[in-house]
Structures are given as C-alpha cells and as structure tokens.
Chains A and B, each alone.
Chain A
C-alpha cells in the first residue's frame, strides 16, 4: 500500500550490525544480519518453537514447527532484511523488514528468556542500521494499541503514529531521505517527529521485549 503516512523528518542514523554488547543480565549478545545460512534459520525455528503464545501479536509468530517454517520462508528471502540477536549459538531475538511496495513492514521478537534486558532496543537499532545500509527509505509497522511497551519503544526510535483508527496502531518511520528528493526535511510542518524523544521519554516499557533505560545499556553511539 502506498497511501501510508510517514514523518517528514528522517530518522537518526543507526549503527549497522554486527554489533555486540552485554545485556542487563550480564549476557554477551551479538546482533548480526541473517545471511541465508541453514544454522541461523534452524536457530530461529527453535526460538519460535519455544515462543510463549501469549507474546504473539496479530497471529505471529505462528504456532507449531510446520507453520513457523512456512512463515520464515516468507520473511527470510533475499529481498527481506533480517537481523538476529545471538547469545552464543542460541537465537535470543529476531527482527525483520519485509518489502511492501515502496516501503518495508517491520516486526521484532525477543524470546521470553531474554526480554527486559535491553536487547529489543539494540535489535531494532541494528535492523534499522542494516536497512539504512541497504537504502531502505520507509518503514511501517502495526502494533496492538494496548502494548504500550512496544509503542513506547517504537516512539523512542522515531516512529510516528500514522493511523490510530482501529485495534492496531499503524506507525511509520522515514529511514533514509528519498532517493530522488532533496531529503532533508527537518520538521517543517510543525510536528517535530522522528528523532526527538530518543533520549527524552523512557517509556513504561516492561512487558514487551524491551524496557526503557536506553541510556544505561546503550553502546554510547547516541
């Protein structure tokens, strides 16, 4: 769909993976792009197979290995961008950009055993850095409106609500200047979207894969 709305302002620059950090539980986590290898795919199948159904969102991840494989087949091909948060050889989290016309749809999942340790913030920043490095311009997502933790994480990143009229909020982010436009669009039309708030609001983010405290766990690139 091409009638989605996006902020005027272009988002921050995000660090392209690989990146490594220590999470708030003291685990060494590495964010790496998915390069199409079988082991990584199997690690994702395993992560999603053990995923708590209560953390499903709008039907994904699906339940059962067969459906998980089917779903991954749709979101892991070369025209999608995927990053995985690794703890050793275990997949702790996964984020993906799936093409949709001239934009990409985003989703992010952190396994229950790794939630609330700051991994979500690193993972989404890694994914967006990976997207920027590959020239992705526009990103959108939907999120259940009661998932305030997720909504606050997305806002912190620079996403703005583009449609609030149904069960799910739709949010958009301008990741890179448009290739044929002049690009710099610093908040002309009054809503100073995008980047504000990254350091400001640290949201009530528990329950989601991540929670606040971007400052304390960030690798200092902001």
Chain B
C-alpha cells in the first residue's frame, strides 16, 4: 500500500513512525515519511528526519524521508491527494497526566479533510 506517515517530533509521532516502518517491512508498503513542522514539539525537524532515516535503515526498507514545510495538516492532505497515497498515518494523540487522550490540531485537520483513510497509532 502507498502510505504517507506524517511526523513532527511528538512522542506519539515517533510511535507512529516505528509502527509504520515495522509494518512496511512486513507488508512491503511503499512508504514516504513526511517530516512536518510541529510548533508543539521540542525536537527540531532535522533531528526528526535523522530519527526517521535511522528507523528506515534499521528496518532495511526503502522509504523516502521528506522534509515538508508549511502548515502540516494541509500539506499532508495535499501531498496525499496529488501523489495518490492510499493512507495517511499519524500519531494517535497525547496522554494527559490523568490518562485522557487529546488529539492535536494536525491530526484533527487531517481526519476532517483527508480523502484517504487515516490511521492514528496508539
């Protein structure tokens, strides 16, 4: 399957990265990892891209790691549409001290606006 995994450096985005890479190795997905701007993240896009490249190497798969600038939600939706991705994968949300799950603005935008299926990784 042609998959687009969007990550911005939050904990849940790295979880999504690991799971998607793992799956791609087994399912032979055509995977692109989009490193997006996330203002809420303390990890710089370059570091995020490095981690993505390392995960891809380690899994021994061919996947493109692409730096995507601009508004993350709309850019992901746009890329998925123009390049005919079949699925977008994102982190499944932040967990509060209480244990409540909150979904960030990027995931919310993509869920509401994507034409493809969207997977949120828990």
A100–B100 CA distance with the chains assembled, in angstroms: 13
- Closest A residue by C-beta to B96: A105
Contact call B105/A57, Cβ cutoff below 8 A: no
Query: What 1/0 flags go to A58-79 for Cβ under 8 Å of B?
Result: 1110100000000100110000
Q: Is B102 an interface residue (CB 8 A)?
A: yes
Given A165-B105, A167-B108, A142-B100 contact (CB < 8 Å)? yes
B42 vs chain A, min Cβ distance (A) = 12
Contact call A96/B103, Cβ cutoff below 8 A: no
Q: Is the interface of B mostly helix, strand, loop or mixed?
A: loop
A120–B70 CA distance with the chains assembled, in angstroms: 44
A91 vs chain B, min Cβ distance (A) = 18
Query: Which residues of chain B are near A106, meaning CB under 8 Å?
Result: 98
Given A166-B108, A167-B108, A142-B102 contact (CB < 8 Å)? yes
Contact call A58/B108, Cβ cutoff below 8 A: no
Contact call B101/A58, Cβ cutoff below 8 A: yes
Q: Which residues of A contact B (CB under 8 A)?
A: 57-60, 62, 71, 74-75, 96, 98-100, 105-107, 142, 165-168
Extra inter-chain contacts (15) besides given A75-B99, A142-B102, CB under 8 Å: A57-B100, A58-B96, A59-B100, A60-B98, A60-B100, A71-B99, A98-B98, A100-B97, A105-B96, A105-B98, A142-B100, A165-B105, A166-B103, A167-B108, A168-B102
A-B contact pairs, 27 of them (CB 8 A): A58-B96, A58-B100, A58-B102, A59-B95, A59-B99, A59-B100, A59-B101, A60-B98, A60-B99, A62-B99, A96-B98, A98-B97, A98-B98, A100-B97, A105-B96, A105-B100, A106-B98, A142-B100, A142-B102, A165-B105, A166-B102, A166-B103, A166-B104, A166-B105, A166-B108, A167-B103, A168-B103
